[in-house]
Amino acid sequence: MTTSDLAAPAAGGRILHAVTETVSPDECERSVDRIGAIAAAEDLLAALGRDVDSPHLADTPRRFADALIEMLTPREFSPTTFPNDDGYDELVLVAGIPFHSLCEHHLLPFRGVAHLGYVPGDRLIGLSKLARFVEQFTRDLQVQERLTRRIADRLLEVLDPRGVGVVLEAEHLCMSLRGVQVEGTRTVTSTLVGVVRDDERIRGEFLARCGLRGSEG
Ligand SMILES: [Zn+2]
C-alpha cells in the first residue's frame, strides 16, 4: 500500500476543508475521512475494553469523531483591513479573547485566553476580526508555542504593522487531568515583534495591559 492509498478517503466520507485566500498553503487541501474516523473511534473503544454493542455507547464513535472534526475545522474567514487615515500610531490591544485548541501530543484540549496587540502601519483591522484570527489557528492540532507564533505571523502578513504582540495563557488538560496532575497551572507563551518587542515603553504597556510584568525590570 502506498502513502496515497493510505490517505485515500472512503467514498462519501470526504470533507474538504474550505479554502480561502487567507489560508496559508500548509493548511490547504486537508481532507477528513469521517466514516473512517467513526470506525476508528469504535475500534479505539473496543481496544480500551469497552462494550461497543452496549446501547449506551451505540452512538459514541460518531459523536466523538464529529466533535474532533468540528474542533479541527477552521471556519472561513477573510480579514478585511482598512486604511489608517488618521495615522493612529499607538498600541491597539484586544485582551482576554477566550480560545480552546487540541494539543497534538495527547489530543486533549487546552484552553485559556489570548491577548493580541499591534501598532499600526498603514492599515487597521476591525477589533472583532482579531478574535477571529485566534480561532483560525486554534482549530488544529497544536502546541501552544507554535500557535502563538502562527497568530503573530498572520497578523504581520495581513497588516504589515510596526509591531505585533501575542500572548496566550492556557491550561492544558494533559497536565491537569493526567501525568503530573497539576490543576490550574497556566502556561504562558508570547511572541513580540517590531516596536512591541524593541520599544521599552510600548513593550511595557503591552505586557502590563496583558496583566504581565515586563521582563528584567
Ligand atoms: Zn498534551
CA–centroid distance, 144 to ligand 1, in Å, is 10
**3-class SS letters over 24-90:** CHHHCCCEEEHHHHHHHHHHHHHHCCCCCCCHHHCCHHHHHHHHHHHHCCCCCCCCCEEECCCCCCC
Confidence category of residue 215, pLDDT binned at 50, 70, 90: low
pLDDT confidence of residue 192: 97
Q: Which of 28, 76, 105, 183 is catalytic?
A: 105
Task: Give the bridge partners for 141, in sequence order.
Answer: 102
% of the chain with per-residue pLDDT over 90? 69
How many angstroms does the Cα of residue 177 sit away from the middle of ligand 1?
10
* β strands within 84-162, DSSP E: 92-103, 109-119, 123-125, 141-142
Q: Give the predicted TM-score (pTM) of the model.
A: 0.81
Q: Residue 105 catalytic?
A: yes
What is the average per-residue pLDDT within 155-183?
A: 90
Query: Would you call 172 a catalytic residue per the annotation?
Result: yes
Is the pLDDT confidence value at 93 over 60?
yes
C-alpha of residue 185 to centroid of ligand 1, in Å: 13
116 pLDDT tier (thresholds 50, 70, 90): very high
Name the residue among 26, 30, 4 with its Cα closest to residue 17.
30
Predicted local distance difference test score (pLDDT) of residue 29: 58
User: Within 10 A of 42 (CB to CB), how many other CB atoms are there?
Assistant: 19
Could you tell me which residue, 20 or 43, shows the higher pLDDT?
Answer: 43
- Three-state DSSP class for residue 111: strand
Q: What is the DSSP letter of 217?
A: -
- What is the average pLDDT across 149-174? 95
Q: Which of 142, 172, 205, 210 is catalytic?
A: 172
Given 27, 100, 171, 174, the catalytic residue: 174
Are 137 and 152 contacting, i.e. CB atoms less than 8 angstroms apart? Answer: no
Told to judge if 17 belongs to the known catalytic residues of this protein, a careful annotator would answer no
Write the pLDDT tens digit of every residue in 119-133: 999 999 988 888 888
89 pLDDT more than 90: yes
Which is catalytic among the residues 17, 27, 106, 135? Answer: 106
Indicate if 76 belongs to the active site. Answer: no
> Domain 3-71: which CATH class?
mainly alpha
Cell numbers standing for residue 138: 486554534
Rounded Cα–Cα distance for residues 51 and 180 (Å): 30
Distance, in Å, from the CA atom of 59 to the CA atom of 49, rounded to the nearest integer, reads 17
How close is the Cα of 166 to the center of ligand 1, in Å?
21
Environment class of residue 111 by beta-carbon count within 10 Å: exposed (0-12), middle (13-18) or buried (19+)? Answer: middle
Higher pLDDT, 156 or 180: 156
- Given a cut of 70, is residue 88 above it in pLDDT? yes
For the chain, the structural domain boundaries read 3-71, 81-209
pLDDT digits (tens, 9 = 90+) for 180-209: 777 778 999 999 999 999 999 999 999 999
118 CA to centre of ligand 1 in angstroms = 30
In this prediction, residue 170 carries a pLDDT of: 96
Query: What spacing in Å lies between the alpha carbon of 205 and ligand 1's midpoint?
Result: 32
Place 211 in a pLDDT band, splitting at 50, 70 and 90. Answer: confident
Burial of 199 (0-12, 13-18, 19+ CB in 10 A): middle
Q: Which of 29, 76, 104, 157 is catalytic?
A: 104
Instruction: Identify any residues that bridge with 123 across adjacent strands, giving them in sequence order.
Output: 83
Is it true that 3-71 and 81-209 share their CATH fold? no
CA–centroid distance, residue 67 to ligand 1 (Å) = 18
179 CA distance to ligand 1 centroid (A)? 10
Pick the CATH number of 81-209 from 3.30.450.20, 1.10.10.10, 3.30.1130.10, 3.40.640.10: 3.30.1130.10
